[in-house]
Amino acid sequence: MAAESPEPPPLPTALTEPWRVIGVGALLWLLATLAAFTVPALESWRPICLAGLATGVIGTSVFLWQRSAARRGARGAQTGLIDPPPTA
């Protein structure tokens, strides 16, 4: 008789709501970019911070695109992007 594998616990709500994660990430990259452009010793951070901001914009755009496809019911769209999963 095979033993049932344990079911992992659900993620905390703060991690299942994408806008919190996106907002915190964007804020941190923005603060790092401001520091890179205002503190002369951090001048070498500038390209990395700009790349981080650009990556965030691209990632958020892909997320919004996938969420709109999920709402339309497109076949290739990711699942779970419309509403957060129900909590027990």
pLDDT tens digits along 24-54: 999 999 999 999 999 999 999 999 999 999 9
Mean pLDDT of 63-88: 72
Report the alpha-carbon angle 11-22-35, nearest 5.
130
Q: What confidence category does residue 67 fall into, taking pLDDT thresholds of 50, 70 and 90?
A: confident
* 63 in Cβ contact with 56 (< 8 Å): no
Single pTM value for the model? 0.68
Which pLDDT belongs to residue 87?
54
